Amino acid sequence: MVLERYSLIGILFSSGLILLNLYLFRKGKLRSSTFSLWVIIGIAILSASSFPMLLSLVFSLLGTEILISAVTASSFLTLLLLVFYLHYRINDIEDKMMKITALASLSKYRQEETKKEEKRVGF
């Protein structure tokens, strides 16, 4: 079985993506959810590149007859999902920052009240 050029490129890209993902996860730079997401994406690319006949399933699902149309459509949908995921994570981080800010403000207020009370009592 001779692989076509795009299949070889896809296999090399997905292998590099999975290896980079493993390296960053072992270094503690990625959380498990991010690691899982990119491993799934890498495996999907590896599967589609290794077994081009799987792309015929994508063709039938998307209703396209040409490879580039199917790849473009599926890439666009994947990018939309990634943008949604990034937006979700940004909102989650903003919520955590608001909670931390509120806690820091409350702590500072309590320290100031304690200092005022100490001055009033005469400590």
Q: What is the pLDDT of residues 36-56, one digit of tens each?
A: 988 998 898 888 888 877 777
Amino acid 15: pLDDT = 92
- Spatial CB neighbours of 38, under 8 Å, sequence gap ≥ 6: 17, 18, 21, 30
Q: 38 versus 69: which is more confidently predicted?
A: 38
Report how far residue 101's alpha carbon sits from residue 45's, in angstroms, rounded to the nearest whole number. 41
Give me the mean pLDDT over the 8-31 stretch.
87
Amino acid 108: pLDDT = 94
Give me the mean pLDDT over the 3-19 stretch.
83
Q: What is the pLDDT of residues 72-118, one digit of tens each?
A: 767 876 887 788 788 878 888 988 999 999 999 999 999 999 998 88
> What's the longest Cα–Cα distance across the chain?
88
C-alpha pair distances (Å), 93 with each of 13, 32, 41, 102: 30, 16, 24, 14
pTM: 0.56
∠ CA 87-91-94 to the nearest 5 degrees?
140
Tell me the pLDDT band of 123, cut-offs 50, 70 and 90. low
Amino acid 2: pLDDT = 65
